[in-house]
């Protein structure tokens, strides 16, 4: 496999959706915008951030988060651009984190105005293709068992349940999923 830490821009099957390199100044400001207020709390809750950790963010914290995205060697990170506007992010853990085997895809559609419009499907589909083209036979993800949107998205991309649901240290219930040769088909 080639150097997996280098992020390249990827055009999805949707001509309006491109995966682009993170940019600290642009994306930190967006992070603050996406995560502020009750809508931001709801976004983080749907992604599995426990209530005790679901606090308002700052521009400094978001700059550090984006810098980490850019510098990490154990992740691939892209921002999701739709019609020239950054609307979310998608990333791949290249090493196992917690209970989720690697590589594991994660996504956040930060702009609530574009949720449910196929952007997450286009982005996740392209990242899955990208990983398969680099020789990964199994690709993983996870979702909160109560997050029907994430569950439906992953199912539509051919992911199936991998193992039983489990509860993390914060009391949140998760379901791991897999696409590829280690499929454990759901009944």
Question: What pLDDT is stored for residue 38 in this prediction?
Answer: 78
Q: How many domains does the chain have?
A: 1
Judge whether 138 lies within some domain: yes
Q: DSSP secondary-structure letter at 90?
A: E
Domain harbouring 28, CATH code: 3.40.630.30
17 vs 157: CA distance, rounded Å: 17
CA distance 29 to 49: 20
Q: What is the pLDDT of residues 116-155, one digit of tens each?
A: 899 999 999 999 999 999 999 999 999 999 999 899 999 9
49-73 pLDDT per residue, tens: 777 777 778 999 899 989 998 999 9
The whole domain housing 32 covers 10-180
**Burial bucket for residue 172 (CB in 10 Å: 0-12, 13-18, 19+):** middle
């Amino acid at each position: 496999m080639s150097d997996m830490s280098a992020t390249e821009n990827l055009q999805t099957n949707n001509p309006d959706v491109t995966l682009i390199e993170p940019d600290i100044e642009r994306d930190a400001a967006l992070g603050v915008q996406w995560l502020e207020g009750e809508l931001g709390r709801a976004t983080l809750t749907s992604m599995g951030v426990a209530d005790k950790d679901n606090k308002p963010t700052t521009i400094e914290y978001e700059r550090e988060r984006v810098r980490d995205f850019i510098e990490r060697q154990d992740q691939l990170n892209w921002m999701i651009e739709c019609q020239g506007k950054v609307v979310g992010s998608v990333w791949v853990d290249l090493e196992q984190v917690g209970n989720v085997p690697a590589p594991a895809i994660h996504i956040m559609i930060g702009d609530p105005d574009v949720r449910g419009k196929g952007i997450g499907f286009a982005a996740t589909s392209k990242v899955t293709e990208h990983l398969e083209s680099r020789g990964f036979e199994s690709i993983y993800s996870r979702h909160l068992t109560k997050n029907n949107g994430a569950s439906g998205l992953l199912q539509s991309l051919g992911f199936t349940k991998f193992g039983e649901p489990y509860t993390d240290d914060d009391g949140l219930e998760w379901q791991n999923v897999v696409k590829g040769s280690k499929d454990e088909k759901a009944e």
